[in-house]
């Protein structure tokens, strides 16, 4: 390794020379055939004739680079033309590096060797120049629904694994966590444009009707043996109509599956209403990878709740705090603080930390942590059989978007992490069971991370002879009660509106 100064910056690189592209792919250096690489590069026209007659194996890397520069071989099609993933990636790295201002990529420490790119090509990534190693730790074990799990956690945040493990231990020592699936339905929200607002309203009424729902369902479900339409929600904005398709997608996260179904359903709608025009298959009424109240209220993907009762002895001796202090902190920080910030679904300490780390380890779409980490953490005292005061904690997560087939789950390292959790691939006996299991594990693991709240905030209240602290606790409980009433009233109004729409 050598330090090179480029543009005033020091960059750690492998030593690189014109001969460094000539060893075999099994060698750690970036070289292939030294004798041939020393030869002069033939002209582009001659290289093209050789390629057509003998194939790309008869050309040196520098000659391939020449053909790419001349536009004979598209840079994105190197894997197809060369029929060698590592050689294609090595050449692409050279092209990018030589064309960039830093010249840093060609001999860099970004790894690319010894990786199964057959799982990547055409599915996970394009224009590949290597892969990014991220440390994977293990948290736990944690007992979830009677089974012990070791949780794979992929992160670069120091102390996160230790924090989750601390919560896992507290939960397991207290009997474990229980989880329940509340809802299972991925959504896609296309947008249609009509000639007028009145026409948009007419189409909405048809979609909401029994006849319209039946026609759309039949069309939608004809595209897949797994996709099952579970609901349609419509909204009009002027002459635009948004339709939110909610669908069961088996063990897949399901965006591709549901998009195909939506396209077919939109064709059927346009046959019924020729004046309708499809604006987009995804009209942000889904809503994907953006914070939104509709996901928080209606749910998206898997809606899960996890609960545990933590022994007061464990709270005091392991978490180093008290049940009262934890409950007070949860109200002031996670509920009131988040409400003051105008948060949507952010009534928690750091749910996104745990969820995203498991997403990375198990091949989920990390961008979907935006809505998937929506969570409300609740804590309250619970009297035990012996009269001791224990801690009841729950995490409710309405939109965990996960799958155990497709996407990054096909990559071998991520598949191993899914195997650790016993939910790799499709469930042949009960389609969708593996993805639901993963969602429940994630929710319980998030709860373990929430229990480590004392690591992030002091939870011990200083003693006060005047009773000021108890007065503040009472005020906090009152404010929290008001918040609960507002949330409950909102849900009641939504339920009334839904019932009116149905009638």
pLDDT digits (tens, 9 = 90+) for 405-447: 999 999 999 999 999 999 999 999 999 999 999 999 999 999 9
Confidence of residue 491 (pLDDT cuts 50, 70, 90): low
Residue 466 is predicted with a pLDDT of 40
pLDDT above 90 (res 17): no
Range scoring the smallest mean pLDDT among 63-67, 211-215, 385-389, 465-469: 465-469
Residue 315 is predicted with a pLDDT of 95
Residue 32 is predicted with a pLDDT of 43
Average pLDDT (40-62) is 93
DSSP states of 143-193: EETTEEEEEEEE-SSTTHHHHHHHHHHHHHHTT-BEEEEEEEEEEE--EEE
Tell me if 22 sits within 8 A of 31, measured CB to CB.
yes
Q: What percent of the chain has pLDDT over 90?
A: 79
Asked if the peptide bond before residue 500 counts as cis, ω within 30 degrees of 0, the response is no
Rg (CA), the chain: 28
The rounded distance, in Å, linking the Cα atoms of 368 and 402 is 9
The rounded distance, in Å, linking the Cα atoms of 150 and 137 is 10
Using one digit for the tens of pLDDT, what is the confidence trace for 243-292?
Answer: 999 999 999 999 999 999 999 999 999 999 999 999 999 999 999 999 99
pTM listed for this prediction = 0.84
Which is more confidently placed, 54 or 493? 54
The rounded distance, in Å, linking the Cα atoms of 367 and 253 is 13
Tell me if 109 sits within 8 A of 30, measured CB to CB.
no
CA distances from 40 to 35, 48, 59, 60, 61 (A): 11, 16, 12, 10, 12
| Cα angle: 413, vertex 416, 419; to 5 degrees | 160
The rounded distance, in Å, linking the Cα atoms of 22 and 97 is 17
Tell me if 193 sits within 8 A of 331, measured CB to CB.
no
Residue 52: exposure state from Cβ atoms within 10 A (0-12, 13-18, ≥19):
exposed
Average pLDDT (350-368) is 97
In the predicted model, what is the mean pLDDT of the chain?
87
Tell me if 310 sits within 8 A of 143, measured CB to CB.
no
The rounded distance, in Å, linking the Cα atoms of 185 and 250 is 10
Count of beta carbons in the 10 Å neighbourhood of residue 318: 17
The rounded distance, in Å, linking the Cα atoms of 378 and 386 is 23
As given in the structure block, the two tokens for residue 233 are: 């929600």
Q: Is 454 helix (H, G, I), strand (E, B) or coil?
A: helix
Range scoring the smallest mean pLDDT among 90-104, 377-391, 460-474: 460-474
Average pLDDT (143-162) is 97
């Amino acid at each position: 390794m050598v330090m090179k100064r480029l543009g005033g910056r020091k960059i750690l690189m492998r030593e690189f020379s014109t001969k460094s592209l000539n060893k075999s792919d099994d060698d750690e250096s970036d070289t292939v055939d030294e004798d041939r690489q020393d030869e002069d590069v033939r002209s582009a026209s001659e290289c093209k004739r050789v390629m057509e007659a003998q194939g790309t194996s008869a050309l040196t890397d520098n000659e391939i680079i020449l053909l790419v520069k001349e536009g004979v071989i598209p840079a994105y099609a190197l894997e197809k033309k060369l029929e060698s993933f590592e050689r294609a990636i090595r050449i692409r790295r050279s092209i990018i590096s030589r064309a960039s201002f830093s010249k840093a990529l060609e001999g860099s420490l970004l790894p690319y060797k010894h990786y199964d790119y057959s799982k990547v090509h055409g599915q996970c990534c394009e224009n590949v120049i290597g892969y990014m190693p991220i440390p994977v730790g293990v948290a736990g074990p944690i007992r979830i629904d009677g089974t012990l799990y070791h949780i794979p956690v992929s992160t670069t945040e120091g102390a996160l694994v230790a924090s989750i493990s601390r919560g896992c231990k507290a939960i397991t020592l207290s009997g474990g966590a229980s989880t329940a699936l509340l809802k299972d339905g991925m959504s896609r929200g296309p947008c249609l444009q009509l000639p007028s607002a009145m026409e948009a309203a007419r189409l909405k009424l048809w979609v909401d009707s029994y006849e319209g729902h039946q026609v759309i369902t039949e069309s939608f479900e004809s595209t897949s043996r797994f996709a099952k339409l579970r609901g349609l929600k419509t909204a009009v904005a002027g002459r635009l109509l948004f339709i939110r398709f909610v669908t069961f997608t088996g063990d897949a996260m399901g965006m591709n599956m549901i998009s195909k179904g939506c396209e077919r359903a939109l064709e059927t709608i346009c046959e019924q209403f020729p004046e309708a025009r499809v604006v987009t298959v995804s009209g942000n009424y889904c809503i994907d990878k953006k914070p939104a109240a509709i996901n928080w209220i209606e749910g998206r993907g898997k809606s899960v709740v996890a609960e545990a009762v933590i022994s007061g002895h464990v709270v005091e001796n392991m978490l180093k705090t008290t049940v009262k202090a934890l409950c007070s902190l949860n109200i002031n920080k996670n509920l009131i603080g988040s409400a003051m910030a105008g948060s949507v679904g952010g009534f928690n300490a750091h749910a996104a930390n745990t969820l995203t780390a498991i997403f990375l380890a198990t091949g989920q779409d990390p961008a979907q942590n935006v809505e998937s980490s929506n969570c409300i953490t609740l804590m309250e005292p619970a009297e035990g059989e012996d009269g001791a005061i224990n801690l009841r904690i729950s995490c409710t997560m309405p939109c965990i978007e996960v799958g155990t087939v497709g996407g990054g789950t096909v990559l071998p390292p991520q598949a191993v992490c899914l195997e650790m959790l016993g939910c790799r691939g499709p469930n042949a006996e009960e389609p969708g069971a593996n993805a639901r299991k993963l969602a429940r594990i994630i929710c319980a693991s998030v709860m373990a991370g929430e229990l480590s709240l004392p690591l992030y905030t002091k939870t011990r209240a200083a003693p006060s002879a005047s009773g000021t602290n108890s007065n503040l606790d009472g005020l906090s409980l009152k404010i929290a009660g008001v918040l609960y009433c507002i949330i409950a009233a909102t849900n009641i109004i939504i339920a009334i509106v839904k019932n009116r729409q149905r009638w």
